[in-house]
Amino acid sequence: MKEKVREAALTGFVALDRRLPAAEAAKALLRKAFPDHWSFLLGELALYSFAVLVLTGSYLTLFFDPSMTQSVYAGPYEPLRGLRMSQAYLSTLDLSFEVRGGLLIRQVHHWAALVFIAAIAVHMLRVFFTGAFRRPREANWIVGLTLFVLALLEGFAGYSLPDDLLSGTGMRTANTIVLSIPVVGTYLSSFIWRGAFPGHVILPRLYVVHVLFVPGVLIALITVHLILVVYLKHTHWAERGRTNRNAVGQPMFPQFATKSTGLFLMIFGLLTALGGLAQVNPVWAYGPYRADQVATDAQPDWYVGFLEGALRVMPPWETVLWGHTFMWNVLIPAVVLPGLLFTGLYLYPFLEKWIAGDRSEHHLADRPRNQAARTALGVAGIVFYAVLLAAGGNDVIAFSFRVSVNTLTWIFRIAVVLGPVLAFWVTRRICLALQAHDRRLLAEGRESGNVEQDVRGGLGEGHEALSAAQGYRLMVREVPEPLTAPRPRAELPRRQRLRLALSSWYYGDRVEVPVTPEQRRAVEERTAAPIEPEEPGTAAGRGEPAGRGR
């Protein structure tokens, strides 16, 4: 009987597979190689934090009321009894004090949002510093960056929904930013708030954006992102057996699936522990929002703190033209600055490819030290962001350390200009020093820890040769050489002269590794692109600088 049942089931599966070939796709997915290095888990950290956000957010929507209708509080929290407040703030208080498990879910949701955005940011930094945005992954870089921008919008919308004094202050700042946009600012503000601030529709509209529009787009883009990751394969570090033409890792089942499930459970447990033990966003301590009040130490969440800092360090510049006031002190730090920042990030993969004259595919991850200019740019960006984030709390810092707010503001103004420049120079020198260290290791070997005496009687540190795996990791690298001009630079168009100058600045400082001709050929073989298509209009045919080298 059992044999007949098994045979019937097998026949059914075969018949189903003929009509819907899912088994073949499932087998290919189960055999897919996934990376085994810890740094590649940052994307999963963001994914599982988003899963916790969806689960907890679904629970919160059952009890939250985004209405701005005013009522008098008569709940269990005595300090707020008798105060007028919106239904949004009232339902948030009810969630915190009267709904069973409501406060825990609220705090888990908030912590998951912070971890989600932080994980995306660190994941993007890993992709940037290792060069994983290069061809063929430019589209995935754009998708990932768009996910980060949408996560910022989603976080700000959720942060604003409780309608407490802190979030209301943030909404006032957002309204000021919209009003600072020349020509269309007043129209945008009237459309978004449906009249003068604070209006009566902004919270219901933000609620729809927060629970429907942005999550839907996030889910769609995450799906596209994962499909591209599966299709394009992952990058990997240069190790023996790992080249630019293969994808080495652990199969999805059972190794990767087991690790990934364990990571999800750890994240869920950690976020639950944070929600139960670490207080975050205590809205009852801030009170309901009133347009005529603001807390002195009002601070936004970290992911928008750099905008607050930029607003605080910007000088009070305004210009009146034709009866209209241009608020440069708001427009430049809150509109122009983030616009330029994210535009540069979107265009960076294509800009670097243009500077390097590089049209090949890259599946080997760069060691950050080997790309000194790129690493220095990344560190300079981090320092720039960190200074602005610290400037967003200049009043709290001034109060805590008993210093003048004006003095502290000038310190931040100087630091936001000189800090990134200094960070770029120092990081680039450190990267070159590490490259020189790698060269010395390849030439002399690593120190053995033993004192040895040479034939002349001199004493010195003994050295021993690197292992084959260590030598492979140091020698196999992709570092483009600066472009060379096909003819005298004076005869070249201005655009090509600019490209040559940028290429020389970007790739000029480097430390070559000591390799024999045989080793060089082996390195070139392992870093060769999987496909080298003949593209129409080559560099030589257009009279452009010569292509990349290693």
182-203 burial: b if 16+ Cβ within 10 Å, else e? eeebeeebeebbeeebbbeebb
Phi, psi for 476 (deg, rounded to 5): -80, 100
The answer to whether residues 179 and 152 touch, using CB atoms and an 8 Å cutoff, is no
Q: Which stretches within 33-132 are classed as H helix?
A: 42-60, 87-97, 102-130
Q: Which residue has the tokens 């073949």?
A: 24
Instruction: For residue 202, give the amino acid letter.
Output: I
Which pLDDT score, from 0 to 100, does residue 252 have? 79
Stretch 98-117: mean pLDDT:
96
| Residue of 432 and 539 predicted with greater confidence | 432
**In sequence order, what DSSP letters do the residues of 204-261 get, joined into one string?**
HHHHHIIIIIHHHHHHHHHHHHHHHHHHH---B---TT--TT----EEIIIIIHHHHH
The answer to whether residues 131 and 120 touch, using CB atoms and an 8 Å cutoff, is no
Q: 33-34 and 70-72 as β-strands: parallel, antiparallel, unpaired?
A: unpaired
- Round to whole Å and give the CA distance between 282 and 292: 21
Q: Which stretches within 314-358 are classed as H helix?
A: 328-331, 337-356
CA atoms within 13 A on the CB side of 70: 8
Residue 523: pLDDT band by 50, 70, 90 thresholds?
confident
Phi, psi for 70 (deg, rounded to 5): -85, 145
Tokens of 260: 């990934």
Closest CA to 151 of 172, 121, 175: 121
Q: Which residues pair with 326 in a beta bridge?
A: 319
Residue 545: pLDDT band by 50, 70, 90 thresholds?
very low
Which range, of 132-141, 266-275, 492-501, averages the lowest pLDDT? Answer: 492-501
Stretch 297-312: mean pLDDT:
87
Determine the straight-line distance between the first and last CA of the chain, rounded to whole angstroms: 67
| Residue of 290 and 382 predicted with greater confidence | 382
Q: Which domains are present in the chain?
A: 38-240+251-293 (1.20.810.10)
Closest CA to 206 of 251, 142, 157, 151: 157
CA atoms within 13 A on the CB side of 309: 27
pTM: 0.89
- Round to whole Å and give the CA distance between 80 and 85: 10
- Round to whole Å and give the CA distance between 397 and 418: 21
**pLDDT of 205 above 80:** yes
Q: Using DSSP, how many helices (H) and how many strands (E) does the chain show?
A: 21, 8
- Alpha-carbon 52 to chain mean position: 19
Residue 43: pLDDT band by 50, 70, 90 thresholds?
very high
**pLDDT of 547 above 60:** no
Which pLDDT score, from 0 to 100, does residue 379 have? 98
Which pLDDT score, from 0 to 100, does residue 29 have? 66
- Round to whole Å and give the CA distance between 123 and 121: 5
Other CB atoms within 10 A of residue 450 CB:
9
- Round to whole Å and give the CA distance between 332 and 316: 11
Q: DSSP secondary-structure letter at 513? A: -
Tokens of 308: 């607050």
**pLDDT of 213 above 50:** yes
pLDDT digits (tens, 9 = 90+) for 343-372: 999 999 999 999 998 888 999 999 999 999
Stretch 454-468: mean pLDDT:
79
Closest CA to 235 of 354, 143, 367: 367
Stretch 56-62: mean pLDDT:
96
Coil/strand/helix, residue 472: helix
- Round to whole Å and give the CA distance between 9 and 157: 50
Which pLDDT score, from 0 to 100, does residue 191 have? 92
Which pLDDT score, from 0 to 100, does residue 450 have? 81
Instruction: For residue 390, give the amino acid letter.
Output: A
- Round to whole Å and give the CA distance between 52 and 494: 53
Q: Which residues pair with 86 in a beta bridge?
A: 70
| Residue of 254 and 393 predicted with greater confidence | 393
The answer to whether residues 297 and 376 touch, using CB atoms and an 8 Å cutoff, is no
